[in-house]
Amino acid sequence: MTIANEDLLMEMQRVGSLMRRARHRKMHEHFMKKATQMDEAAPEAVPEGAPEGAPEGMPPIPPLGGPHGAPFGGPHGGPHGGRCGHGPHGHGHGHGKCRKGHGKFGQARILALLQVQDGMSQKDLAFLLGIRPQSLTLALEKLEAEGFIERRQDEDDKRTRRVFITEAGKAKANEAAEERAARADEVFAVLSDEEKDQLGAILSKLATSMEENMEEKQHAE
């Protein structure tokens, strides 16, 4: 039986999601390695104030770092104390403006996942989508403002917030599903049934391999 166009599109999205997760993991490892190297290479802290025995009236030595107190960063911090929340200790850049996250990431995919598993935690939802929790939060805020979802505290764990789809959200998800099906039919119209099955098998093999690779790395840590 030939794979359905919509299922084929979902397999492509699955591979894309896994690739994003792998990239984010690699970026996190890079930032952690960079932070460790900078910690090891950092000079001893210079005490604030004028040096002992300095002439009267000599101005005090300013603390190292930018105006926000990042030890070796620019005005927005860097790997050692950035204030913008990107990366393990900040956004990893010692200068330039902070690049804020956005809330336009795959709202239809979020609603589709909630239709399958309503009440999912934000952490699990971010993991399945392969995006940073900060980016997901922005998207959820917009969906909640439009009345498509509700977020509630977990009754057993107050630190966990769960996401529930509303009736309006279900209607929106169904509308998006129809659009996705039409788009899938258009995208894969050029392929024969045999080519669709071959592509589906390749995508499934790639996704399975990436998932197994991630699991092995998690167990190794």
Q: Six-digit token pair at 24? A: 């984010």
Could you read off the pLDDT of 15-36 as tens digits, one per residue? 888 888 888 788 878 888 888 8
Q: Six-digit token pair at 14? A: 């699955």
Q: How many Å apart are CA 13 and CA 9, to the nearest integer?
A: 6
Cα 122–218–211 angle (5° rounding)? 75
- CA nearest 88: which of 39, 45, 153, 150? 39
149 Cβ contact partners less than 8 Å away, ≥ 6 residues apart = 110, 111, 114, 140, 143, 163, 164, 165, 166, 169
For 103, list phi and psi in degrees, rounded to 5. -105, 20
> Position 217: which residue type?
K
* Contact by Cβ (8 Å): 74, 66: yes
For 59, list phi and psi in degrees, rounded to 5. -65, 150
What's residue 52's pLDDT? 54
What's residue 47's pLDDT? 54
What's residue 217's pLDDT? 79
Q: Residue 77: beta bridge partners?
A: 74
218 Cβ contact partners less than 8 Å away, ≥ 6 residues apart = none
Rg (CA), the chain: 24
DSSP codes of every residue in 3-59: PPHHHHHHHHHHHHHHHHHHHHHHHHHHHHHHHHHHHHHPPPPPPSBSPTTPPTTPP
Residue 62 DSSP class: P
What's residue 192's pLDDT? 95
Could you read off the pLDDT of 32-69 as tens digits, one per residue? 888 888 877 766 555 555 555 555 554 554 444 444 44
pTM of the predicted model as reported, rounded to 2 decimal places:
0.51
What's residue 67's pLDDT? 43
What's residue 127's pLDDT? 84
**Predicted confidence pLDDT, tens digits, the chain (221 residues):** 889 998 898 888 888 888 888 887 888 788 888 888 887 776 655 555 555 555 555 455 444 444 444 443 444 444 444 334 444 334 333 333 333 334 444 888 899 889 989 999 999 998 888 788 888 999 999 999 999 999 999 988 888 999 999 999 999 999 988 988 899 999 999 999 999 999 999 999 999 999 888 888 777 76
Domains of the chain and any CATH numbers: 101-190 (1.10.10.10)
3-state secondary structure at position 140: helix
What's residue 81's pLDDT? 40
